[in-house]
Amino acid sequence: MAADQLEELAQSLPAETDVRVQPADGTGGHSVVPHLACAGAAEAIDFYKKAFGAEEMIRLPGPDGRLMHASVTINGQMVMLVDEMPEHGMLGPKALGGTPVSLHLGVTDAVGVADRAVRAGAKLVMPVTRQFWGDLYGVVEDPFGHKWSIATPGENAPRTTEALTEAMMAAGQPG
C-alpha cells in the first residue's frame, strides 16, 4: 500500500475507537500465546518435550525446510514456534545477544522440573529456592536462549503489598 493510500485510510478512521481485546476461537483461548523464534525450531520442540513434557500440536515446514509455524502445549497452554527467518525479522535470543523476556511456568514441583530441564540441556541461571514472596522459584535458559522461570506457589505467601514489602525488606532485597 502506498503512503498516500495509508494516509487516506488513516484519515477515514474515527478519531477514537472503542476496540476491545477479545479472544477468538482457535487462537489460544483466553491467554497471551508466546511465539518463539528459535535457531532450530524442530530441535526446540524436542527439547520442550524432554524438559517440560510438551505435547506437539503441529509442524508446518516451508519450501526450504524451515518451520514456518509449529505449536506445542506445555501445561495445557499453547506455545508457538518458528525457525529463525532473518529475511522476515524473525530472530531468536542467541542471534540478538539475549532476551529481556522470561516465560513463567507454574508447576507443582519446581525443583523437579528445573532439574529435568537441566538434564535435557538447559542452563541453570538461578537455582530454585524459597523466595520472599513465598514461592519456590528458579530460572533456566533453554539451548535456544529463551529464559524460563519455574515456580511452585507458596502456601503461606504474603498477599498484601504491605506484607510483600515487609518480606522483601527482611530478605535484604532492594526496594
* Number of CB atoms found within 10 A of residue 95's CB: 13
CB distance 139 to 125 below 8 Å: yes
Report yes or no on 138 lying in a domain.
yes
- Cβ-proximal residues to 134 (8 Å cutoff; 6+ apart), any chain: 153, 154, 155, 156, 157, 158, 167
Report yes or no on 127 lying in a domain.
yes
Of 29, 24, 60, which Cα lies nearest the Cα of 42?
60
Q: Tell me the per-residue pLDDT of 8-35, one tens digit each, with 9 for 90 and over.
A: 766 766 666 666 655 656 555 567 899 9
Of 42, 98, 95, 87, which Cα lies nearest the Cα of 65?
42
Report yes or no on 23 lying in a domain.
no
What's the CATH code of the domain at 114? 3.10.180.10
- Cβ-proximal residues to 92 (8 Å cutoff; 6+ apart), any chain: 36, 37, 38, 39, 84, 144, 145, 146
Strand pairing report for 136-141 and 55-61: unpaired
Q: What is the pLDDT of residue 174?
A: 66
Q: What is the pLDDT of residue 96?
A: 97
Report yes or no on 51 lying in a domain.
yes
The pTM score is 0.81
* Residue 165 or 134, more confident: 134
Report yes or no on 42 lying in a domain.
yes
Report yes or no on 10 lying in a domain.
no
- If you count DSSP H runs as helices and E runs as strands, how many of each does the chain have, helices first? 5, 8
* Residue 150 or 24, more confident: 150
Beta bridge partners of 123: 141
* Residue-range definition of the domain harbouring residue 131: 32-170
Q: Tell me the per-residue pLDDT of 63-122, one tens digit each, with 9 for 90 and over.
A: 999 999 999 999 999 999 999 999 999 999 999 999 999 999 999 999 999 999 999 999
User: Which stretch of DSSP H or E encloses residue 158?
Assistant: none
Q: What is the pLDDT of residue 169?
A: 84
CB distance 134 to 140 below 8 Å: no
Of 90, 75, 78, which Cα lies nearest the Cα of 32?
78
* Number of CB atoms found within 10 A of residue 173's CB: 12
Domain tally for the chain?
Answer: 1
Report yes or no on 5 lying in a domain.
no
Report yes or no on 6 lying in a domain.
no
Q: Tell me the per-residue pLDDT of 40-62, one tens digit each, with 9 for 90 and over.
A: 999 999 999 999 999 999 999 99
Q: What is the pLDDT of residue 175?
A: 55
